[in-house]
Every structure is written in structure tokens, then in C-alpha cells.
Amino acid sequence: MVHTIVVGGTRGLGREVAKTLGIAGHRISVLGRKEPPQKDGNILGAQYYQCDLADERSLKKKLDSLVKTQGKPSYIVFCQRYRGQGSDWQGELGVTLTATKTIIETLENKFTRSGDKGIVMVSSVFAERVGDGQPVGYHVCKAGLNQMMRFFAVKLGPKGIRVNAVTPFTFLKEESKEFYLKNKPLHDLYRRMIPLGRMATSEDSAKAVAFLCSSQASFISGQNLYIDGGLSLVWPETLARKIAAL
Ligand SMILES: NC(=O)c1ccc[n+]([C@@H]2O[C@H](COP(=O)([O-])OP(=O)(O)OC[C@H]3O[C@@H](n4cnc5c(N)ncnc54)[C@H](OP(=O)(O)O)[C@@H]3O)[C@@H](O)[C@H]2O)c1
């Protein structure tokens, strides 16, 4: 059975990824600080490993015990997002960049020998664009993550490990969908702006991750797949004219 580690798989998109891959028959190990409450239904036999990604020493120990108990991984998916109280600059650096690098370097020689192998990083449009609501650290670390993806795609290629990213536009997830569904003017505006005519959901991104974590993507490496319904192609002036006509 294919073993996949989902980093930040306790909530949001990570949880959806763990669920989608679990249904596809992967054995799932989830890393996060808090196991989700049983009432939310844990994912099809997933094993939860509690650890703070910002604590490098305990992270390495946790990875050791994870591989001992669950076996060598075929895939690692990075879905974590810094959600802390302290300095968001240090927090973003630690949780988004350092933890990703540490996990890859700790496990790069512990992947399964045979079959398809890969790493997927969840990035953001803020790696390339500048937007409200996120601090400079989020922008800078997502940009760094994209380059880390390219670096490891080249470095790990000879080991047969493919490395890719997905870049979702704001998506409806369990935790946030009520906000967008209740905020009708904003929701309607998004639907008008996006060529596919609807907001994204966490399932849309999870399905793209599942594709990249399969032999269907066997010769795809170093790519950043946008999951935005075509929005990034629309010229801002076109959007402005659409909004002005509302
Ligand atoms: N939401 C969006 O619309 C959106 C749009 C574009 C891109 N993204 C990207 O998509 C990914 C998922 O976003 P999301 O909104 O679904 O995130 P989320 O709901 O906030 O979930 C974040 C995950 O990261 C884990 N995590 C955070 N800090 C951690 C730490 N110090 N140690 C261990 N685990 C930690 C959390 O687990 P615990 O709380 O259990 O520790 C949780 O499982 C992120 O990379 C985000 O940047 C999101």
C-alpha cells in the first residue's frame, strides 16, 4: 500500500487532501499539533503524529518514529500554514520554509525504493502577487517555497522523486465556507470574476494534489499548477470594468 505523509493534515485543505488520498487507497500519516476531534470523523485509518513543526528537534524524532511505525513514504504533501501567536515573520519562516526543508532532508533517503514517488507543496498566489490580509512573511515564504520546489525537483530527480506545487485561489473549506456563502455580494463578485463561474473548493485542490501523488503524473516535476478557474489570466482592467458595471 502506498504510504503518504500529509503535513498539516488536521484541518482545512490538508484534511481534505488526507481524506481524498485515503479514499484513493493511500495509507495516511498526518503531522499537526492537534488531532482533530473524533466527532469530525478521522480519516480512514489515518495515523496522527502530534508535533510542532517549529520545533526542529522534536520534528526529526517524530519523523523517525513515523517511518518506523508506518513504513517508508511514497509521497509527502505540505499543507501546513503558520497559525501562531508570536512574530509572524519568524513563524512563517519556521513553519513554511525551515520545516519543509527539514522534513525533505530528513526523509529524502527514506522514500520507498520502488514505484512512483513525489512531493507536493501547497503554495499561494501571494508567492507572485501582493494582496491584502497576509503579512510580508507569508508573501516572502510562499515565494521561497516555490523556489525550494524547483531546487528539490532538480536535486531529487535522480532518486526518482518528483517535486511539484499547487497554487490555489481562495477556496471554500469546511472552516470558512459559511463566511463566503453568507456574504452574498462578495461571493457573487468572485463568481463573476472567475472564468469558470464559481469559487474554488478545497476538494478542487485536493484532487489536483491526488493527481500529482500518482503515477498519472509520472513525468511531471518542477511544476506549479494553478487551481484558480482561469482567474490569473484575466487582465485587471477587464475585472475593473466588470466590477464598475455592477
Ligand atoms: N485558505 C485559502 O483560501 C488558501 C488559499 C491559497 C493557499 N492556501 C494554502 O493552503 C494551505 C492550507 O491552508 P488552509 O487555509 O487549509 O490552512 P489551515 O486550515 O489553517 O490548516 C493549517 C494546517 O497546518 C497545521 N499547522 C499549522 N502550524 C503548525 C505547526 N506549528 N506545527 C504543526 N502543524 C501546524 C495545522 O494543524 P494544527 O493546528 O493541528 O497544528 C493545520 O493542519 C496553506 O499552505 C495555505 O497557505 C490557502
Give tens-digit pLDDT for 152-181.
999 999 999 999 999 999 999 988 899 998
Q: Residues 128-136: what's their mean pLDDT?
A: 95
In the chain, beta strands by DSSP E: 3-7, 27-32, 47-50, 75-78, 117-122, 161-168, 171-172, 200-201, 224-227
The CA-based dihedral angle spanning residues 218, 222, 226, 232, taken in that order and rounded to the nearest 10 degrees: -140
Q: Which domains does the chain have, with CATH numbers?
A: 3-171+200-231 (3.40.50.720)
Say if residue 86's pLDDT is above 90: no
Best residue for ligand 1 mutational test, from 83, 140, 232 (most atoms within 8 Å of Cβ): 83
> In the structure grid, which three cell numbers stand for residue 19, read together?
481524506
Give the binding-site residues of ligand 1, using a 6 Å CB cut-off. Answer: 8-14, 32-34, 52-54, 79-83, 95, 122, 124, 168, 170-171, 173, 175
Q: What is the pLDDT of residues 179-233, one digit of tens each?
A: 998 999 999 999 999 999 999 999 999 999 999 999 999 999 999 999 999 999 9
For the CA of 13, the nearest atom of ligand 1: 16
pLDDT in the model for residue 37 = 72
Q: Residue 32 and residue 240: Cα distance in Å, rounded?
A: 40
Is 70 exceeded by the pLDDT of residue 42?
Answer: no
Determine the distance separating the centroid of ligand 1 and the alpha carbon of 8, expressed in angstroms. Answer: 6
Structural contact between residues 42 and 57, judged by C-beta atoms closer than 8 angstroms: no
Distance 243 CA to ligand 1 centre (A): 31
Q: Is the pLDDT reported for residue 16 higher than 90? A: yes
Q: Supply the DSSP symbol for 120.
A: E
User: Percentage helix, strand, coil, to 5, in the chain?
Assistant: 50, 15, 35
Split at pLDDT 50, 70, 90, the class of 39 is low
Q: How far is the C-alpha of 40 from the C-alpha of 155, rounded, in Å?
A: 39
Q: How far is the CA of 13 from the centre of ligand 1 (A)?
A: 7
Write out the three cell numbers for 178: 459559511
For residue 186, give the H/E element and its range: helix 184-193
Tell me what pLDDT residue 246 has.
67
- Which of 81, 97, 132, 175 best tests ligand 1's pocket when mutated (most atoms within 8 Å of CB)? 81
pTM above 0.95, yes or no: yes
The model's pLDDT over 2-12, given as tens digits with 9 standing for 90+, comes to 999 999 999 99
Residue 225 in grid coordinates? 499548477
Q: Whose CA is nearest to atom 34 of ligand 1?
A: 32
User: How many whole angstroms separate alpha carbon 31 and alpha carbon 12?
Assistant: 13
Rounded Cα gap, residues 171 and 164, in angstroms: 20
Q: Please give the Cα distance from 222 to 122 (Å, whole number).
A: 13
